[in-house]
């Protein structure tokens, strides 16, 4: 009975394979391949933040390349541009002044300033003039004469005693005053005869050296380091002006090419952050069709081949086209591909629910895996003659939960990954434990105790154990 069931199952598998192979491998007169019309989205925004001043387009409008669609309030940006322009002018003036060096008038002024300093130093070193000395001596002689007269008058009043006390006191005061004047005239003469102090000479010499150093510095011109600093200031001001002008241009958002406005995300008066999307457009001249070709039909296509495209929205019409690209790798990781192409958002706007989308992604792979399993099991039993101790029909039944678990893991990876490369790496990270920790190569009993719980979490472990139970131990239905 088991042998008859096995033979019938093998015939059914062969018939199913032939039914799949014949339509896909016969040569039709015209290949009709399903596909989707694709268009690239462009999310327009600005590199500056600000308040929206005007929106000049509506959703559905067709705009030409360079057409402004959104304006920002640019008063502050214009002020920054003007400020940068004035700073650049000041920097250029400073650079020109450094490059030209000092004016002849400035050199002459610095030279003229050294002459008074030199004259003052010579005057201080020479001391007082001879005339001043003679004048001081004459003043001293005059004071001495006045002192002698005052002393004679006081002596006369004091000796004769014929005058009153008031007159005597007046004569005494006159004598003392004359003595003071003589002492002052003597000190003045000594000061004039002694000449200038050493401190005054040093001060005059330092002042002369300062003016001469300033004159030499101006005559030599501007240093190379100062010229380099002035030139760097000009370059910095030019860069600041270019940045300010770029920001001012960013206050107007324009389309880069002919586009169809799909979504206008802002309104007049909205505050928009830098980099935020304000308008989403579709490239009007970048329509193309992505067609999924079976691997057996790829040899019939080549780049540049003329084709006809039929669109459901235009029944009965044919649009001419040509093959522009043939992918070098097959499409895989369905959800990741939808993310990369941006069609996952489009699917979310359709009436298809999330569960229906998951079923649509899982069922084709489930059917393909089931056919592959039946083919391998049939070859094992019929061609290689491997005996099956249990019921052969048990094997495809236990394969169903295993395939569902594997597909669930694949969907989870596709949902978490953002690119197909990332998904491929995560798949490899999940396949290796299934190979080495499931008992496929090494018995789970010989593994370290810390790895055995991990082995029990793998669907492959239970699939291998169930398949061995059916094939070797006769487990399953009688």
User: How confident is the model at residue 80, as a pLDDT?
Assistant: 93
| pTM higher than the cut 0.85 | no
475 found inside a domain: yes
- In the chain, the number of structural domains is 2
Q: In terms of domains, do 81 and 27 share one?
A: no
Query: For residue 21, what pLDDT is reported?
Result: 47
Tell me, yes or no, whether 232 and 342 share the same domain.
no
Domain residue limits at 369: 1-32+331-478
Rounded to the nearest integer, the mean pLDDT of the chain is 79
Task: Note whether 82 and 231 are same-domain residues.
Answer: yes
Q: What digits encode the pLDDT tens for the residues 275-299?
A: 999 999 988 877 778 877 766 677 7
Instruction: Say what the pLDDT of residue 1 is.
Output: 45
- Are 7 and 97 in the same domain? no
Confidence at residue 70, expressed as pLDDT on a 0 to 100 scale: 94
Residue 136: inside a domain? no
pLDDT lower than 70: segments of the chain: 1-29, 126-127, 158-165, 195-196, 294-296, 327-352, 418, 420, 477-478
Same domain, 465 and 402: yes
Q: Are residues 345 and 476 in the same domain?
A: yes
What's the pLDDT tens digit per position in 83-141?
999 999 999 999 998 888 888 887 888 888 888 878 877 777 766 777 777 887 888 78
70 belongs to a structural domain: no
Domain boundary among 185, 215, 250: 250
The answer as to whether 387 is a domain residue is: yes
So what's the pLDDT on residue 16?
Answer: 52
Q: Are residues 245 and 354 in the same domain?
A: no
Residues 467, 335 within the same domain: yes
Tell me, yes or no, whether 441 and 350 share the same domain. Answer: yes
Indicate if 241 and 347 belong to the same structural domain: no
- Within this chain, do residues 350 and 461 fall inside the same structural domain, yes or no? yes
Q: Are residues 469 and 338 in the same domain?
A: yes
Enumerate the β-bridge partners of residue 223.
none
């Amino acid at each position: 009975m088991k042998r008859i069931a096995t033979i019938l199952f093998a015939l059914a598998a062969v018939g199913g394979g032939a039914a799949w192979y014949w339509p896909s491998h016969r040569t039709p007169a015209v290949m009709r391949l399903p596909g989707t019309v694709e268009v690239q989205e462009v999310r327009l925004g600005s590199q500056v933040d600000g308040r929206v001043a005007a929106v000049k387009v509506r959703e559905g409008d067709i705009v030409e390349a360079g057409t402004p669609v959104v304006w920002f309030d640019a008063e502050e940006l214009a002020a920054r541009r003007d400020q940068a322009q004035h700073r650049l002018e000041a920097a250029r003036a400073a650079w020109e002044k450094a490059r030209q060096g000092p004016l002849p008038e400035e050199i002459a002024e610095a030279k003229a300033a050294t002459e008074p300093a030199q004259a003052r130093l010579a005057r201080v070193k020479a001391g007082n003039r001879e005339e001043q000395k003679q004048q001081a001596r004459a003043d001293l002689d005059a004071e001495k004469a006045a002192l002698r007269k005052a002393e004679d008058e006081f002596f006369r009043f004091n000796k004769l005693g014929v005058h009153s006390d008031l007159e005597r006191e007046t004569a005494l005061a006159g004598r003392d005053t004359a003595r003071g004047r003589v002492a002052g005239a003597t000190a003045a003469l000594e000061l004039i005869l002694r000449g200038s102090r050493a401190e005054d000479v040093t001060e005059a010499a330092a002042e002369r050296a300062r003016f001469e150093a300033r004159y030499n510095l101006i005559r030599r011109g501007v240093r190379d380091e100062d010229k380099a600093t002035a030139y760097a200031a000009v370059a910095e001001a030019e860069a600041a002006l270019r940045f300010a002008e770029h920001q001012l241009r960013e206050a107007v958002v324009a389309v880069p090419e002919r586009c169809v406005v799909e979504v206008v995300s802002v309104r007049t008066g909205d505050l928009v952050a830098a980099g935020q999307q304000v308008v989403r457009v579709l490239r009007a001249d970048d329509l193309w069709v992505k067609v999924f070709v079976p691997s057996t039909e790829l040899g019939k296509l080549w780049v540049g081949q003329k084709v006809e495209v039929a669109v459901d929205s235009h029944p009965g019409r044919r649009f001419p086209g040509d093959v522009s690209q043939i992918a070098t790798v097959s499409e895989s990781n369905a959800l990741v591909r939808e993310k990369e192409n941006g069609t996952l958002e489009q699917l979310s706007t359709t009436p298809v629910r999330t569960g229906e989308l998951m079923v649509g992604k899982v069922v084709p792979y489930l059917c393909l895996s089931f056919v592959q399993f039946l083919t391998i099991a049939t070859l094992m039993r019929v061609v290689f003659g491997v005996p099956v101790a249990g019921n052969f029909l048990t094997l495809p039944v236990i394969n169903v939960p295993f395939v569902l678990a594997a597909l669930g893991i694949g969907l989870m990876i596709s949902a978490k990954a953002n690119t197909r490369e990332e998904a491929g790496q995560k798949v490899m990270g999940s396949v290796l434990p299934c190979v080495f920790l499931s008992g496929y190569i090494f018995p789970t009993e010989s593994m370290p105790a810390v790895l055995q719980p991990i082995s029990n979490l793998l669907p492959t472990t239970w699939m291998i154990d169930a398949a061995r139970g059916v094939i070797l131990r006769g487990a399953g239905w009688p």
